[in-house]
Amino acid sequence: MHTKWQAFSPSIEASQIGFCELSSLGALIVSGQDAETFLQGQLTVNLKTITDDQSQLGAHCNLKGRMQSLFRIFKLSQGSESRYLLIAAASLIPHAIQNLKKYALFSKVKLEQAEGLRYFGLVGEASSDFLTALMSEQVNAVAGGGTTYLPQPEGDLIICRLPGSIPRFMVILATSLAESFIQAMQKTTQGLSTEQWEALDIQAGIPSLYPNTEDLLLPHHVNLPELKGVSFDKGCYLGQEIIARMHYKGKIKRHMYRALLAESTEPPPCPGDQVIILDAPNEAPGIVVRSAKVKQGFELLVVLDEQYADFSKIRFKKADGPKLHRLDLM
């Protein structure tokens, strides 16, 4: 593939494709001869399942099994060397590096904030065909799921198919490749707001972690095992004992649900906000994991005790606050 993007196929209607820059994302890079071994002992996911053509979600937890970071993890192999790119909310990256460095003293690894990368989202039924026409036939490898890593002389290019009922891709580019890519996108796709992209993540049930929700949630609370982001047979990792015990003893009663808040609030809902359970003053409040503005109000991902999953008694922030309505994940 050349860095001059190929001509867009006129048979694909641009109105079928949405495009936006994901400016809220950041990343750290883990490299060095002990990179895989180090991450295997830190993250909930089995590093063996992360290959050049398959990314995975995975969390870094504290000793109590509570998530300190939540990443989408990529393996970038070039020759005999491998690096790992861990993408998360940009606001969380400094915390993640600080927490991981505590355990890296005796490993031959380097942890650093990723510089010179930009992140983009592409959505629509024709997005796979569009990427193939724009870039190369190698994109077909991710049409049904997975990741393609295409190192270029000017820098990295990574394409990742995201879960969900609507075809969606994350495109990660070196800054030197980004401007020409943006120009090609703007000519042939519809602009998509970051709120619209966030809503698509919420509809697909994809969790994220932010400083406001750090150290609060077990991986099970955000359905991470169902998203293949937790391994129960790879061996020890930070927080593994509690995570495994809760799993095998079936003590997980709090899960993540999609909800609609059909009223305006000031300030708008954000991660870490509480949801209140009526007539249950001793019950732990629910927690907002993600939020996005939509036409009907706000869509949320909320962690809540399963006995209240019908949402009949759930209010936002206070007992006389607006009601939340449960929605299905897509």
243 and 268 in a common domain: no
In-domain check, residue 4? no
326 and 303 in a common domain: yes
Domain count, the chain: 2
In-domain check, residue 1? no
CATH number, residue 101: 3.30.1360.120
pLDDT at 144: 55
216 and 184 in a common domain: yes
pLDDT at 323: 96
170 in Cβ contact with 119 (< 8 Å)? yes
Nearest residue to 20 (alpha-carbon basis) of 249, 221, 186: 186
Residue-number span of the structural domain to which 263 is assigned: 253-330
In-domain check, residue 5? no
Given 230, 251, 272, the domain boundary residue is: 251
In-domain check, residue 9? no
Alpha-carbon distance 203 to 328, whole Å? 8
190 and 77 in a common domain: yes
298 and 219 in a common domain: no
% of the chain at pLDDT higher than 90: 67
Given 251, 279, 303, the domain boundary residue is: 251
Predicted confidence (pLDDT) per residue in 290-313, tens digit: 999 999 999 999 999 999 999 999
Q: What is the CA radius of gyration of the chain?
A: 20
Question: Which segments of the chain does DSSP mark as H helices, in order?
Answer: 35-40, 93-101, 127-134, 175-188, 194-203, 240-248
Give me the phi and psi of 286, to 5 degrees please: -75, 170
Given 251, 285, 320, the domain boundary residue is: 251
Helix or strand (DSSP H, E) at 158: strand 157-162
Reading the chain (330 residues) residue by residue, the pLDDT tens digits are 444 444 333 333 445 789 999 999 999 999 999 999 999 999 999 999 998 888 999 999 999 999 999 999 999 987 667 799 999 999 999 999 999 999 999 899 999 999 999 999 999 888 877 777 776 555 555 655 688 887 777 788 899 999 888 889 999 999 988 988 888 888 778 888 999 999 999 999 999 999 999 999 999 999 999 999 999 999 999 999 999 999 888 789 999 999 999 988 888 999 999 999 998 877 889 999 999 999 999 999 999 999 999 999 999 999 999 999 999 987
200 and 67 in a common domain: yes
164 and 26 in a common domain: yes
260 and 233 in a common domain: no
> Residue 322 in 3-state DSSP?
coil
In-domain check, residue 296? yes
pLDDT at 9: 37
154 and 96 in a common domain: yes
72 and 126 in a common domain: yes
CATH number, residue 261: 2.40.30
Question: Is-above-0.75 flag for pTM?
Answer: yes
175 in Cβ contact with 155 (< 8 Å)? yes
pLDDT at 6: 46
In-domain check, residue 161? yes
In-domain check, residue 109? yes
Alpha-carbon distance 254 to 16, whole Å? 38
Cis before 267? omega within 30 = yes
In-domain check, residue 167? yes
295 and 224 in a common domain: no
Nearest residue to 142 (alpha-carbon basis) of 117, 118, 167, 110: 167
Going 74 to 77 to 82 to 83, the CA torsion angle's sign is negative
292 and 246 in a common domain: no
Residue 259's identity, in one-letter code, is: A
Q: Is 115 exposed, middle or buried (0-12, 13-18, 19+ CB in 10 A)?
A: exposed
